[in-house]
Amino acid sequence: MRFLKTFALGAAIALVATASLADKLPLGSISSYLNAMTTAKGEFTQINSDGTISTGTIYIKRPGRVRFEYNAPDSGLVVAGSNTVVIYDTKSNQPPETYPLSRTPLSIILARNVNLNQAKMVTGHSYDGTATTVTAQDPENPQYGNIQMKFTGPKPELRQWIINDGNGSQTTVILGALQQGGSLPNKLFDVGSPGSVNR
């Protein structure tokens, strides 16, 4: 499935919410906000690089873990855990695709210690009157692409997350009613288990 492969090279997350006006948010405040996000769950709509749209549920457990369960007709699954991203296409007889998490810009958000002030990590930091946009990449591996995040304030809240992968593809995921906090079982992020897990 093309959209799943695109995700493997760079996933994207966006949060839908009413934007509030604020000044440009400092990188330190945004880093602290991301570091404080331990668990989250919500529905998402993904805009794929070819213009198609997919929906599903996302589960985040920092550091290092995320799970995207896609709704029918896609019925795909993307799981990141144990420093690995695994892409399952449940309609295919092909084996799952596996990538090191470090090769995706998603690793910046899932890092144990997000530090956007790190030298050469942030390549863009702007404010359009409504949202602060931060473009970041792994300074040691810029060839893996970048992540573009939009935050509103005064308390940072992530509103949009776009991944531009190393092949020039762009993917966006829009989330609704993201619930932060609470407990998520580690088995949700078992990269060796493609099936749905009872929650």
C-beta of residue 47 within 8 angstroms of C-beta of residue 173: yes
Model pLDDT, residue 3: 45
Model pLDDT, residue 39: 95
Torsion (CA) 62, 31, 19, 164 in degrees, nearest 10: -70
Q: Which residues are CB-neighbours of 93 under 8 A, at least 6 positions away?
A: none
Model pLDDT, residue 198: 41
Model pLDDT, residue 173: 80
Model pLDDT, residue 9: 42
143: exposed, middle or buried (Cβ count in 10 Å: 0-12, 13-18, 19+):
exposed
Model pLDDT, residue 161: 84
Q: Please, what are the averages of pLDDT over each run of 10 residues along the chain (199 residues)?
A: 46 38 86 94 90 93 95 89 90 86 90 93 95 92 90 84 87 80 93 59
pTM greater than 0.75: yes
192: exposed, middle or buried (Cβ count in 10 Å: 0-12, 13-18, 19+):
exposed
Give CATH for domain 2-176. Answer: 2.50.20.10
| Domain ranges across the chain | 2-176
